Amino acid sequence: MSTGEGKICPNCGKDIGILGIMLAGIPNRIKCPHCKSRVKYQNTFLVISILLVIGLILVVLIHPLVKKLHISPQPIEFIVYIFSVWLLWQPAEFFAALYLRSNKVLESVKKSG
């Protein structure tokens, strides 16, 4: 792999940035912030699987901690729970984006139709 294949949009030649990857949610739903074309990383099954396991672990670990806070009413407790999971998820998403940019190759998504 040549330098930049995981960072540079294959359509416009500009760096997609870390935020573009993080906002996509999964590595095959990325939109270039410059040309708005869809791009994806090749061979990401293992990365997605690891992220799913990390997410599941966060959900399981955070639930009892939020319950111990004894927050009322129930909708507020749910909001605190979701926000806590989201906040603790961000480092995993950030490091996954760094890994993808350094180790995977971006390719254009062909439109079907």
> Has residue 93 been placed in a domain?
yes
Judged on CB neighbours under 10 Å (0-12, 13-18, 19+), 52 is exposed
Answer yes or no: is pLDDT of 15 > 90. yes
Higher pLDDT, 80 or 3: 80
Secondary structure of residue 111 in the 3-state scheme:
coil
Range of the domain at 103: 17-108
Cα–Cα distances (Å) from 73 to 76, 77, 81, 85, in that order, read: 6, 7, 13, 19
What is residue 2's predicted lDDT score, i.e. its pLDDT?
47
What is residue 38's predicted lDDT score, i.e. its pLDDT?
92
Total domains present in the chain = 1
> Has residue 8 been placed in a domain?
no
Structure tokens at 15: 């760096």
What is residue 47's predicted lDDT score, i.e. its pLDDT?
87
> Has residue 5 been placed in a domain?
no
| Mean pLDDT computed over every residue of the chain | 86
SS3 per-residue string spanning 15-71: ECHHHHHHHHCCCCCEECCCCCCEEEECCCHHHHHHHHHHHHHHHHHHHHHHHHCCC
> Has residue 31 been placed in a domain?
yes
Predicted confidence band of residue 113 (pLDDT cuts 50, 70, 90): low
